[in-house]
A and B are shown apart, each in its own frame.
Chain A
Amino acid sequence: MSNLFDLVIAGLATGAIYALVAVGFTLLWQTSQTINFAQGEFVMLPAFLMLAAMHAGAPFWLAIILGILLSMILLGLAFKLLLVDPMMRHGVLPLAIATMALAIGLKEAVKQFFSAEASPFPSIVPTGDISILGYSVSLQSIGVLVLAILAVGSLTMLLNRTSLGHQMQAAAQNPTVARIIGVPVERMILLTFLINAFLVALASLLITPIYLAKFSSGEVLGQAAFIAAIVGGFNQVRGAIVGGLLIGVLDNLAAAYVSTQYRAAVPMIFLIVVILFRPQGLLGRAEERTV
C-alpha cells in the first residue's frame, strides 16, 4: 500500500510537469495552429541556459531568472518571429516539419556547445523524505507538485478572470471577430508564445533535477506532453492538466505493475484508445476552440 501511495505521488509530480508542457503545447495550437514537435527540446534547453549562467559565475537564483528570460526571448519571441510567422499561412504540416528540424538543431547545438554527457542540476525544492499519515513521501515530489499546481492555477486565473485572458480566448476562438471588436490579436498570439516559453522553462527547472540535464532528454518529455494534450483534450487547458496528471500516474504504475519492457506501451495504447473512441479528448468538446 505504501508503495502504491508513493508511486501515485511520484506519478502526480511528473504528471504535473507533463501538464505544464502540455498546456503550453495546446496554447500554441489554439492560437496559431502550431504543432510544436520541438516542445520536448524546449524543455531541455532552459536547464542548459541556467547551467551556462552558473558556469559563468552567476548564483543559482540569478541563473534561474536569466534562464527564464533567455528562454522567453529565444523560445518565445524568436521562435514566433523567425519560424512561425513566415510559415503560419501555409498550413499545419510544413510548420510541423520545420519544428522537427528545429528539434534536431537544438539537440545538436546543446551537444556541440555544451556537452553530450548528462549533467547534474540543483533542485530548487528541498530533497529528502517526510512522513505524511504514516507514509514516507519524497519532499521533492511534493514541492514539484505544489509549484506546478501554482503555475497552472495562476495561468487558469489569468485566462478566465482577467480582461487580458478574455482577449486571448477571443483571439483563439475567432481571430476575425476579435480583431473587429478591437482585440490586438497579433499581440495576444505573441503573448501565448511567451507564456509557453515561460511554462517550458519552469518545467525544465522542475524536472531536470530528477532526470539530469541531457541533450536528448526532450524526446521522451515531448512525447509525454503530446499524449497528455491529446488524451485530455487538444482544445482545452484543463484537459491538458488532467491528461498530464493521468499520463504521469499511468506511466509510473505501468513501470511497477505491467513490465519495465512495455511500460512505454501503456500510455501509447491509452492514446490510441482515446483517439479512436473519444477523439476530442476526455474533457474536450468536439470542434470547439478555446484556451
Chain B
Amino acid sequence: MSGFAKPLKIALGLAAIAALIIVPMNFNRYGLFILSQWAVMSIAAMGLNLTLGYAGQVSLAQGAFVGIGAYAAAIMTTHGWPLPAAILVAIALSFAVGWVLGYPALRVQHHYLAFVTLAFSTLAFLVFRNESWLTGGIYGISNIPRPHILGFATNKPLPFYYVCLGSLAVVSLAVWWLIRSPWGRAFMALRENPLRAQSLGIDTRRYTLMAFAIGSALGGVAGALYAPLTQYIDPVPFNLSLSLDLLMMVIVGGAGFYFGPFLGAMIAVLLPEWLRFTEGYYLMLYAAAVMVLLIWSPTGILGILDRYLAERRTKAASALHAVAKSRLETAQ
C-alpha cells in the first residue's frame, strides 16, 4: 500500500475504524453476529498469515487452535472464571501446542508439513468429540457467559461486538509491531531463503517454532472470543473445514500482506451472507468467486492492488527519469 501518500493512508484507516464503530449501531442481532464473527475470524486468519504469509510455513491446523481456545474459554467461563483469564490460558495453551506442532516443520516442508498439520487437525477434532468428560462430547457446552468488562455487561450483541472489535484492534496493533520488529524480519528471511537466513546468524530453528507458536496463539485468542460469541460450542465448527477456510481466507486476501486477513475474512464470512438471496446457490457462487479470483490473481486481492501500484510507480519513475534526462540534454 506504499503507493498512497501517508496522510491519505491515515485518513482511510481512521475512516474505516470510525465506520466499524458507528455503522453497526443500528444493525440487527444477526448483522452484529456476522460482523463479530468477521472480527473473530480476522484474528485467527492474522495468526495464520504470520505462520504462512510471513514465515512461509504451511499449516492446516489453525481451525484446531481456534477449537482449543474456544474449549478453554467455554470450560473456564462456565466454571466461573472471568474471560480475560480464560483468554490468557487459551493463549498459553495454543502457544505450547503450536510450539510442539512446529517440530515437524523442522524436519519436513511444504506439502508434507501441510499433511502433518492436517492430521493434527483431525486428531484434535476427535479429542473434542470423544473426551466428553471435559468437552461435553457431541452435546457440546452451552450457556457460555459473556463477560463484564469494567462493570459493563456485554450480554447484548452490540456491546459484545465492541469486545470483538476491541480485541481485533489490540491484536492488529501487536501484529503490526511484531512484523516491523527484528522478529518479523527474521520470519520473512525464513520464508525467502532459510539457508541464507541461517548463514546470517538467524536461529532458524527457534524462529520456525516461534512462527508456529505465535500464529497458533492468535488462533487460540480467536477461539476464546468465539465461545462467548456463539454461547454454545460443539466439535463440528472446529473440524478440518475451518482450517481449510482459514487458509483460504489468508490466500484470497493476500498471504504476506498485513491487510490480507481482514479482506479474506470479509470475503469468507460476509460474501456468503450477501449471496444468501440466491438460496441454495450461495456456496456454489462463493466457490466460483474464489476460483475466478485466484485464476485472475494467485496472490489474492491485495496482490491485484500491489501489482497496480507497482506499475504506477514504475511509470512515475520512468517519467521522472525522462524529465531528468531532457534537462541534462538541454543544459549541455
Stretch touching chain B among A95-103, A124-132, A236-244: A95-103
- Give Cα distance in the complex from A104 to B283, angstroms: 7
Q: In the complex the two chains form, what is the Cα distance from A91 to B297 in whole Å?
A: 12
Is B7 among interface residues, defined by CB-CB distance under 8 A?
Answer: no
The reply to whether the CB of A150 lies closer than 8 angstroms to some CB of chain B is no
Task: Kindly identify which residue among A35, A97, A275 contacts B104, using a CB–CB cutoff of 8 Å.
Answer: A275
Q: Is A65 close to B, CB under 8 A?
A: no
Whether, in the assembled complex, B10 has its beta carbon less than 8 Å from a beta carbon of chain A, the answer is no
B305 at interface (Cβ–Cβ under 8 A)?
no
A261 neighbours in B (Cβ, 8 Å): 126, 129-130
Q: How many residues of A contact B (CB 8 A)?
A: 40
Q: Which residues of B contact A83 (CB under 8 A)?
A: 291, 295
Number of interface residues of B (CB under 8 A): 38
Chain A CB within 8 A of B269 CB: no
- The answer to whether the Cβ of A223 comes within 8 Å of any Cβ in the partner chain is yes
A87 x B294 contact (CB < 8 A):
yes
Q: Whole-angstrom distance from the CB of B62 to the nearest CB of chain A? A: 14
A102 CA to B244 CA, complexed, in Å: 12
User: Known contacts A102-B287, A276-B104; is A268 also within 8 Å of B119 by CB?
Assistant: yes
B251 touches A94 (CB 8 A): yes
Contacts of B247 in A (CB 8 A): 97, 100
Q: Tell me whether B108 and A276 are in contact (CB under 8 A).
A: yes
> Taking CB as reference atom, which chain A residue is nearest B289?
A101
B contact residues around A102 at 8 Å (CB) = 287, 291
Docked Cα-Cα span, A79 to B294, in Å, equals 14
Given A87-B298, A262-B126, A279-B108, A112 contacting B248 (CB threshold 8 A): no
User: Is there a chain B Cβ closer than 8 Å to A234's Cβ?
Assistant: yes
CB pair A37 B244 closer than 8 Å: yes
Is B123 touching A268 in the complex (CB atoms < 8 A)?
A: yes
List chain B residues, Cβ under 8 A from A234.
111-112
Contact B287 A268 (CB under 8 A): no
A35's nearest neighbour on chain B, judged by CB, is: B111
A112 to B288, CA, bound (A): 15
- Whether A223 contacts B122 by the Cβ 8 Å rule is yes
Q: Is B58 an interface residue (CB 8 A)?
A: yes
Q: Is there an interface contact between A92 and B111, defined as CB atoms closer than 8 Å? A: yes
Give the interface SS of chain B, mostly helix, strand, loop or mixed. helix
Chain B residues within an 8 Å CB radius of A112: 280-281, 284
Of the residues A100, A230, A268, contact of B244 by C-beta under 8 Å: A100
Residue A193 interfacial (CB < 8 Å): no
- CB of B259 within 8 Å of the partner chain: no
Per the bound structure, the CA–CA distance linking A261 and B122 in Å amounts to 12
Q: A90-B298, A91-B298, A261-B126 are known contacts. Are A226 and B291 too (CB-CB below 8 A)?
A: no
Instruction: Report the separation of the CA atoms of residues A63 and B129 in the bound assembly, to the nearest whole angstrom.
Output: 40
In angstroms, how far is the closest chain B Cβ from the Cβ of A88?
Answer: 10
CB-CB contacts of A249-291 with B at 8 A, as 1s and 0s? 0000000000001101100110110011001000000000000
C-alpha gap A35/B113 in the complex (Å): 13
Q: A272 touches which one: B119, B129, B283, B291 (CB < 8 A)?
A: B119
Could you give, for residues 100-138 of chain B, a 1 whenever the CB lies within 8 Å of some chain A CB and a 0 otherwise?
000010011011101110111011001001100000000
- A93 within 8 A of partner (CB): yes
Residue of B nearest to A104 (CB): B287
The residue of chain B having its C-beta at the shortest distance from the C-beta of A268 within the complex is: B119
The answer, among A87, A269, A279, for a CB contact under 8 Å with B123, is A269
Specify the chain B residue showing the minimal Cβ separation from A263.
B126
In the complex, whether B290 has a CB less than 8 A from a CB of chain A is yes
In the complex, whether A57 has a CB less than 8 A from a CB of chain B is: no
Asked if B112 and A101 make an inter-chain contact with CB atoms under 8 angstroms apart, the answer reads no
On whether the beta carbons of A97 and B122 are closer than 8 Å, the reply is: no
- Let me know if B252 is at the binding interface, CB within 8 A: yes
In the complex, A219→B129 CA distance in Å?
Answer: 18
Provide the residues of chain A in CB contact with B248, threshold 8 Å.
Answer: 97, 100-101
6 residue pairs, one from A and one from B, having the closest CB atoms: A105-B287, A90-B298, A94-B298, A101-B290, A268-B119, A104-B287
For the A-B complex with A98-B294, A230-B112, A268-B122 known, give 14 more contacts whose Cβ atoms are closer than 8 Å. Answer: A35-B114, A86-B295, A94-B298, A96-B114, A98-B291, A98-B295, A100-B244, A101-B291, A105-B283, A108-B284, A111-B280, A223-B240, A230-B115, A271-B115
What would be 28 A-B contacts, judged by CB atoms less than 8 Å apart? Answer: A83-B295, A87-B294, A93-B251, A94-B294, A97-B248, A100-B244, A100-B248, A101-B287, A104-B286, A105-B288, A105-B291, A108-B283, A108-B287, A109-B284, A112-B281, A223-B122, A226-B118, A230-B112, A234-B112, A264-B126, A265-B123, A268-B123, A269-B119, A271-B119, A272-B104, A272-B119, A276-B104, A276-B116
